[in-house]
Amino acid sequence: METTTFAATDGFPHTALIGVTGPEATLAVQGDSHTVLPLASVSKPISAWGVLIAVERGLVDLDEPAGPEGSTLLNLLDHTSGLPFEGEQTQAKPGTRRIYSNAGFDALGAHVAEAVGMPFDEWMTREVTGPLGMTDIEVVGRPSAGYRASIADLLIFGREVLRPKLVPVELRDLALMVSRPGLHGVVPGYGSFDDNQWGLGFEIKGSKSPHWLSDTMPPETAGHFGGQGSFLFIDRSRDIAAAFLSGVAFGDDHKRIWPALTEEIVARYGGR
């Protein structure tokens, strides 16, 4: 593992913890890889993995009713349930718009908890973070945005997505595919897009611009960013994953450096 400094973070006025991994091992780290900071919405892809494990076990089904009337588990996972960002009042008929929703992911956690017969955080610890050896993570609070973790843990999860051991490859592929293409929606902080592509718990880069990922990243790049200045991305074309933690509210400083940083990451480590 290389200890490094990324030029794109020069002048960034906050903590900038960064890690890059291949499918087998960490490639590079900037800062302390075990410092625990809020993930905010980067909690969602980790929570989604717990849902997919329940799907694989036959405890829930993607097509079963979940959330508001007419919605399914799949609608909650791909942000098409009609639920708003926060709250219970639906904004659209399920499946017709991409409405990014914390409320939807919290409903997802509650639904799975009932199905598996234990609180969702216990399920996550037993079936996801424990088996993967994510020893720093704090899986507490809202499945949508409540977790705290380290760069080391996020890279462990990135390796799981690159080479899944807890779910079948087919389910991993489904999670990273565009679910219901062509739906209009908003990426918080970046604006509205006619084709706001998402998989199951993961945002898909597609052709969105401006975006937190570099414009040169492949359209199929999957990941998530969070409101506490965090991100995780999976670039299967280069067989790498990368994570960023800052522990401060997402803002203009993050928007300024992230495209250049993600470009620097793939330029330096994507060819290994």
Q: How many domains does the chain have?
A: 1
Q: Supply the pLDDT for residue 169.
A: 98
Q: Supply the pLDDT for residue 1.
A: 76
For 13-69, how does the pLDDT look when each residue is reduced to its tens digit (9 = 90+)? Answer: 999 999 999 999 999 999 999 999 999 999 999 999 999 999 999 999 999 999 999
Distance CA 64, CA 100 (A): 20
144-160: buried (b, 16+ CB within 10 Å) or exposed (e) per residue?
bbbbbbbbbbbbbbbbb
For 188-230, how does the pLDDT look when each residue is reduced to its tens digit (9 = 90+)? Answer: 999 999 999 999 999 999 999 999 999 999 999 999 999 999 9
What is the domain extent for residue 155? Answer: 2-269
- Report helix, strand or coil for 89: coil
The residue written with tokens 């999957």 in the block is: 222
The residue written with tokens 């349930």 in the block is: 81
pTM of this structure: 0.97
| Among 124, 153, 149, residue whose Cα is nearest residue 138 | 149
Containing H/E element for 204?
A: strand 203-204
Distance CA 62, CA 171 (A): 11
Containing H/E element for 123?
A: helix 120-124
- 271: pLDDT confidence band, cut at 50, 70 and 90? confident
Distance CA 212, CA 190 (A): 8
Q: Supply the pLDDT for residue 272.
A: 65
How many alpha carbons lie under 13 Å from residue 104 in its C-beta half-sphere?
30
Distance CA 161, CA 176 (A): 9
CATH of the domain at 55: 3.40.710.10
- Report helix, strand or coil for 198: strand
For 142-173, how does the pLDDT look when each residue is reduced to its tens digit (9 = 90+)? Answer: 999 999 999 999 999 999 999 999 999 999 99
Taking CA 155 as the corner, what is the angle to CA 149 and CA 161, rounded to the nearest 5 degrees?
110
